[in-house]
Amino acid sequence: MDILAQSVTSGVLLGLILALSAAGLTLIWGVMDIVNFAHGDFLMLGMYGTFFAWSILGLDPLVALPGVVIALAAVGVVVYATIIRPVLRGSVLAQIFATFGLGILLRGLAQFFFSPAFRQVGETASSGIVAAGPVSVGREQVVAAAGALIVSLLLFAILDRTTLGTALRATAEDRTAAELMGIDSARMFALAWALGAGCVGAAGALLAIYFPIFPDVGATFGLLAFVTVALGGFGSVTGAVFAGILIGVVVNLAGVLVDPSYKFAIAYALYLVVLSIRPQGLLGRA
Amino acid sequence: MRKRLALAGVALVLIGYPFVFGSATAINIGVLVMLFAMLGTAWNLLGGYAGQISFGHGVFFGLGAYTSTLLLRQFGLSPWAGMLAGAALAAAVAIVVGWPTFRLAGHYFAIATIVVGEITHTIVRNADALGGARGLSLPILPGSFLNYEFHEGRLPYYFVALGLYTVALLVTLEVERRRIGFYLRAIREDQTAAQSVGVSVLQYKLAAAALSAALAALGGTFYAQYVLFIDADSVFPLSLSILIALVPILGGAGHAIGPLLGAAVLIPLSELTRITFGGTGQGLDLVIYGGLIVIIAVLQPGGLVTLPRRLHSPVAPGRKGSA
């Protein structure tokens, strides 16, 4: 039983970070119908930013986090303005092609400038062990998950309580009607990219506290983010959070109960099973 | 008439290529261009004509490679027969997997195809009966057309690949001409409308998937015979599935000749940047490759096929209506 409690706990902790990165992805999709296939590579950028803030400036990842979020939000806006806007007039295929290319480009740049070597943030203020009853987990995992939860709640507050958030949701709901109400959809698209990239930047900064950093690190996490988003229902931020936690738990349990080499495959299989019952995902609009 | 003339011109270029560019590197690139033109043409039937975007075609490619290789290793079955067996198996798998997944719309379907590919990749990599992570090497037989192996130069492989591409192209042209071609395009443009005028959507999607999978599997067997070694990471990875989709998307999805254009640009680009800059291991090849993909997508969102049309029309097509 102990091992189950243990793996469910770590699963939830990982799931909260997955949820945050998936929330960023689903936000962009919900607002403008585009899937950013470079999303995992944005996460990688966030992780590197955090690492260099730690190794060069001596900043704790938690201190570096706001700066990383702002930097990634800027990356999001630049990507929107230079790449996404021009391909909006093309087909869905052109959009896929562009963001895939961007992902390869970012990975190549990371390899070129940072080398393929694995890097790891050393001792931080979050290091240590937390024990509660039979369960003991790394304190850095708890801190990262708590941080992810706080940022996710902030995102909810922005979407739910601010005028800007309301305008963003209106654009997602019905672009034409929102435009007639005087909402500039181009500005909303830029905002969605800023928020979406900012979220995944925060997820990267938090993950960097304990996870090794390398140019391809975004590949697995990016794929998990897609599955999380689709499982939760495209465009649903709440769905992404639930699905993130669910996937985190399934990945960890499968690693313990079945075989570590099958842990991702089993999470993917869960996606197929759920979607064959609910084709619009857990909380998606049908 | 113009179309026939253009096709004859393309055929002439493809047949003449290895005689003009005879170096081992140039012929290797030629083989890969033909292989990916063929795989892209296979993808195009489902992704381009029927509008069902798959990032899982590596599954069918891998099935082809593993089926013919296992039949050859276990029973000494000719790879030509193995190739047909692989194609039949891939078509069957496409139907079994397509049945539940074709209910999914748009991105849900695309993600499902990625997921199916990753699950297959994981299973094969961990299955000892299939060679596991060590992979399978093919027996070296005397080089002959009958054995599907050639050891003196790669030229014969080029013509086998050209032949396979021709098969895929002819299948596509036939589909374009027949009723199924019109139905598939109707499904792509508006599935509900197609259904309401009596097109049995699922049936035609499954037909396109089976045809597409069978053709992709032919490419898998070809790859196994060309490299004479296969493992899960070389024939089932996500990156391969993505490349199979990028080739026709770049060239122009839903156009018969699109995948050839895409392969002729993307494959040499990828190979030459890898050869020139890849040795340093610094990722410069990826920077150039990824950067050019982005630039092409931004400048030519309709695919290379639309290039002449854009040059001829005074107004760029994208400006006529907002997307």
- pLDDT tens per residue, range A59-72: 999 999 999 999 99
User: What are the tens digits of pLDDT across the range A132-165?
Assistant: 878 888 889 999 999 999 999 999 999 888 988 8
A236 DSSP 8-state letter: -
Task: Please report which confidence band the pLDDT of residue A237 belongs to, taking 50, 70 and 90 as the band edges.
Answer: confident
Q: In whole numbers, what is the pLDDT of chain B averaged over residues?
A: 89
Task: Tell whether the model's pLDDT for residue B261 goes beyond 90.
Answer: yes
C-alpha dihedral over A225, A229, A235, A240, to 10 degrees? -100
Strand pairing category for A129-132 and B136-137: unpaired
Q: Which of A104, A112, A261 to mutate to test the interface with B (most CBs of B within 10 A)?
A: A104
Task: Tell whether the model's pLDDT for residue A277 goes beyond 50.
Answer: yes
Q: Which residue of B has its CA nearest to A281?
A: B108
Q: Considering chain A, what percentage of its residues have pLDDT values greater than 70?
A: 99
Supply angle C-alpha B248, B253, B257, rounded to 5: 70
Q: In whole numbers, what is the pLDDT of chain A averaged over residues?
A: 90
Among A49, A30, A31, A29, smallest CA distance to A39 is for A29
Does the beta-carbon distance from A230 to B125 stay under 8 Å?
Answer: no
Rounded CA separation B220/B83 (Å) = 8
pLDDT for res A285 = 67
Q: Which of A34, A78, A87, A97 to mutate to test the interface with B (most CBs of B within 10 A)?
A: A97
Residue type, A48: Y
Q: How far is B84 from chain A (nearest CA, A)?
A: 29
Q: How far is A245 from chain B (nearest CA, A)?
A: 19
Does the beta-carbon distance from A271 to B105 stay under 8 Å?
Answer: no
Does the beta-carbon distance from A275 to B303 stay under 8 Å?
Answer: no
Task: Tell whether the model's pLDDT for residue B292 goes beyond 50.
Answer: yes
**Which three-class secondary structure state does DSSP give residue B144?**
strand
Of A76-90, A123-137, B91-105, B227-241, minimum mean pLDDT range: A123-137
Task: Tell whether the model's pLDDT for residue B312 goes beyond 80.
Answer: no
Q: How far is A4 from chain B (nearest CA, A)?
A: 24
Q: How far is B59 from chain A (nearest CA, A)?
A: 14
Task: Tell whether the model's pLDDT for residue B322 goes beyond 50.
Answer: no
Does the beta-carbon distance from A261 to B125 stay under 8 Å?
Answer: yes
Residues of A in contact with B290 (CB under 8 A): 101-108
pLDDT for res B12 = 92
Two structure tokens written together for A174: 């019905």
Q: Strands (DSSP E) along B44-154, which ranges?
A: 136-137
Does the beta-carbon distance from A234 to B292 stay under 8 Å?
Answer: no
Task: Please report which confidence band the pLDDT of residue B323 belongs to, taking 50, 70 and 90 as the band edges.
Answer: very low
Whether the CB-CB separation of B214 and B64 falls below 8 Å is answered with no
Does the beta-carbon distance from B303 to A94 stay under 8 Å?
Answer: yes
C-alpha dihedral over A224, B44, B27, B269, to 10 degrees? -50
Instruction: Name residues 180-219 of chain A within 8 A of B (Cβ).
Output: 215
Residues of B in contact with A92 (CB under 8 A): 53, 106
| Residues near B267 by beta carbon (within 8 Å), at least 6 away in sequence | B29, B32, B33, B36, B247
Mean pLDDT of B53-77: 96
Whether the CB-CB separation of A47 and A164 falls below 8 Å is answered with no
Residue A111 CB neighbours (<10 A): 22
Rounded CA separation A132/B124 (Å) = 40
Task: Tell whether the model's pLDDT for residue B149 goes beyond 90.
Answer: yes
Does the beta-carbon distance from A98 to B293 stay under 8 Å?
Answer: yes
Q: How far is B80 from chain A (nearest CA, A)?
A: 33
Instruction: Name residues 205-244 of chain B within 8 A of A (Cβ).
Output: 238, 242
Residues of B in contact with A111 (CB under 8 A): 281-283, 286
Mean pLDDT of B48-64: 94
Rounded CA separation B168/B243 (Å) = 18
pLDDT for res B280 = 63
Task: Tell whether the model's pLDDT for residue A35 goes beyond 50.
Answer: yes
Global pTM reads 0.89
pLDDT for res B135 = 92
Rounded CA separation B169/A229 (Å) = 37
- Give burial (CB, 10 Å; 0-12/13-18/19+) of B80: middle
Does the beta-carbon distance from B294 to A108 stay under 8 Å?
Answer: no
Mean pLDDT of B28-50: 96
* Start-to-end C-alpha separation, chain B: 34
Mean pLDDT of A202-211: 95
Nearest Cβ partner of B290 from A86, A105, A271? A105
Of A239-248, B232-241, B253-262, B273-282, minimum mean pLDDT range: B273-282
Task: Please report which confidence band the pLDDT of residue A116 belongs to, taking 50, 70 and 90 as the band edges.
Answer: confident
DSSP β-bridge partners for residue A136? A131
ipTM of the complex, rounded to two decimals = 0.87
Q: Strands (DSSP E) along chain A, which ranges?
A: 129-132, 135-138
Element (DSSP H or E) covering residue B230: strand B229-230
Does the beta-carbon distance from A88 to B323 stay under 8 Å?
Answer: yes
Task: Tell whether the model's pLDDT for residue A286 goes beyond 70.
Answer: no
Mean pLDDT of B89-113: 91
Does the beta-carbon distance from A86 to B298 stay under 8 Å?
Answer: yes
pLDDT for res A34 = 85
Rounded CA separation B28/B33 (Å) = 9
User: What are the tens digits of pLDDT across the range A92-114?
Assistant: 888 888 998 999 999 999 999 99
Nearest Cβ partner of B112 from A105, A234, A275? A275
Task: Please report which confidence band the pLDDT of residue A79 belongs to, taking 50, 70 and 90 as the band edges.
Answer: very high
Residues of A in contact with B125 (CB under 8 A): 261
Phi, psi (5° rounding) for residue B276? Answer: -75, -45
pLDDT for res B166 = 96
Rounded CA separation B294/A111 (Å) = 18
| Residues near B193 by beta carbon (within 8 Å), at least 6 away in sequence | B186
Task: Tell whether the model's pLDDT for residue A33 goes beyond 90.
Answer: no
Whether the CB-CB separation of A155 and A168 falls below 8 Å is answered with no
Q: Distance of CA A261 to CAs A149, A215, A226, Å?
A: 28, 22, 20
Residues of B in contact with A218 (CB under 8 A): none
pLDDT for res B197 = 86
Of A44-48, B41-45, B271-275, minimum mean pLDDT range: B271-275
